[in-house]
Copies of this chain bind each other. A is one copy, B any other.
Amino acid sequence: MNLEEKPLNQNYIFRGKIVNLRVDEALLPNGKTAAREVVEHNGGVCVVALTEDNQIFMVKQFRYPYGEVIYEIPAGKRDSKQEDPLACGKRELREETGMTAERFIPLGELYPSPGYCGEILWMYAAVGLKSGENDLDEDEFLQVERLPLQRVVDMIMSGEIKDAKTQVAVLKVAELHRQGKL
């Protein structure tokens, strides 16, 4: 069964600091055409920083689109489409928490909302942590907390933690931990 859609043309509506928006015309498998709204983003990285006593670093941050302060793991977007995800992850972890790590373990990628958005998020676990100074962006306000891994899993299972990357990356770390691989 052919599922593929072919781009016929691209029309940029907006080029911003965080996202671009375009509306393409696409050729569907049945020969018809349809409009496709696409949000472009440089992609980003998130990190589950796990201490030796099984705590993880969590960040409380106001998220403007929801008007809420929510819990997330440390994360940030790439400076460009070319930036190496691991380098970005190391930088964001240090900037937000002051931590560096001996070892970064890839946890795979995450497509946040594949119907209309092309963002890729690379996920890592970080172990062998060493503390240093954090270094926030000028317009970044956040509060760092350490919580036990199991407590964060419970907050995910109860629905209290809603952020997609945090749910995926922490549940993966819990599974690897259960398998003795972390």
Contact = CB atoms under 8 A, between A and B. Distances in A.
A113 interface: yes
Interface string A110-130: 111111111111000000000
Contact of A164 (B13, B23, B37, B110): B110
Contact of A28 (B37, B106, B141): B141
Interface string A1-12: 111110100000
A148 B143 CA distance: 41
Contacts of A112: 112-113, 117, 164
Contacts of A4: 62, 69
A91 interface: no
Interface string A156-171: 1111001111011001
B162 A118 contact: no
Contacts of A24: 64
A72 interface: yes
Contacts of A37: 16-19
A147 interface: no
A77 B115 contact: yes
B66 A139 contact: no
A21 interface: yes
The 10 A-B residue pairs with the shortest CB-CB distance, nearest first, are: A108-B159, A65-B118, A112-B112, A63-B114, A3-B62, A112-B113, A164-B164, A171-B171, A167-B168, A111-B162
Contact of A113 (B13, B36, B164): B164
Contacts of A34: 139
Interface in A13-34: 13-14, 16-19, 21, 23-24, 26, 28-30, 32, 34
